[in-house]
A and B are shown apart, each in its own frame.
Chain A
């Protein structure tokens, strides 16, 4: 019995040492982004592995959020923004003119820095997406999607008795989990998170981090965070950005213990600038 536990522990430790990188879900190939004449990203190449959490770190203005937003063409909504290079989802070019952007954003969902529930009921916040995408055939099916999404976002138990109350009446942490439930409801494959915990207290942050860890079983997650500790806790892969370029990409454990690049080392240890 003891021997068994020891062996499985050894195996677990071994697995951790030789972290396996899953197959590539999304791929950026020489991605450059311009805001008008100002270039924000320079020929960025980055593979995003499937069913793993990829953290993007770097100082403000380094291009990490710009890169994140280009993964579901959120940049399209910004006046004067231009993207060159190629980004693929399962090998398919997402900037191909034939791509339906609404459908793309259902496959690649997004959670923002500030929780932004619709000024509608908790139920409607989650039901909205599946309804406009026609994912539910009946009211009953829609109820099921809402419940399972809220459950997967670890929110159901807290709100099951007040589904018809306004989503904006929830606490900040609950609102953020509601936004995650809303993103999950349309069965995305990839979830992009732009500093999802920066407006939350430590307890709500811990709940969201726990949730991210669970969601990784079924979804590919890309998270932008300014908290080094958060990146170290939740992600398996980390990419360090600086001045619109990628400085270093690697297994999270390596990036936070023995980074190869001096700029990464300086940034994560608080020696930048």
Chain B
């Protein structure tokens, strides 16, 4: 009995955390590492899984593939266009919500609503609204005297439209995260600033923003990791099932390029090389962003 007891207290904690690590190992980590192995092979799904070791050939091809550089450029452009305005707007909305408000919960729910709807639903609705002929946005532009825009056809307009879709879905979520941190700021800081005659704008930039530093860094890093993997929005924005991101690949992202090469061209080795390269890019940008936001927030202190 005592032996069983000791076995229970010593052993069971490990047993209880095992399901998570097991599952992550099998379905998360192993596939990502194995992607590396696949990327060194000529691996064609149509040859019944036949594969031959080709060393760095896939990577060499990738570095000379204009489609890849195009996709990487599009990814960065959409990421910047969606993330920067999104986080600034979230900060502003959080500031608005950080007042004594009536219908507080309803307002917070209203802000969060976009985030609970699926990417597919959101993209379909916006694609309709961005429609060339009957879209609401072109109709509104027409009212202000601006000509209709063929949103899908141009590089800049498609990037802008996709960024709006991404940002619409995530701004409210980030606003609530900022709001939670704002509420944790000690009130004494504001009281002292008020006594010193600081305006509310000064209080916002000198107290609120520096106090939110860890949260801002966190959201910047998380939206980097997510933003550089964007693929469903450009896939569905095209309005067809072709994963090229428009007829001239004007809005194909890197993750979408990976999907095209893997599951349309069935070039698993090449697609895996894209995956690992993108992984590296994400790591570099996440770390750079961490250092950058840390520095910016530091300067404001």
Q: Do A and B truly interact?
A: no
**Chain A residues close to B by CB (< 8 Å):** none
B residues with a Cβ closer than 8 A to A are none
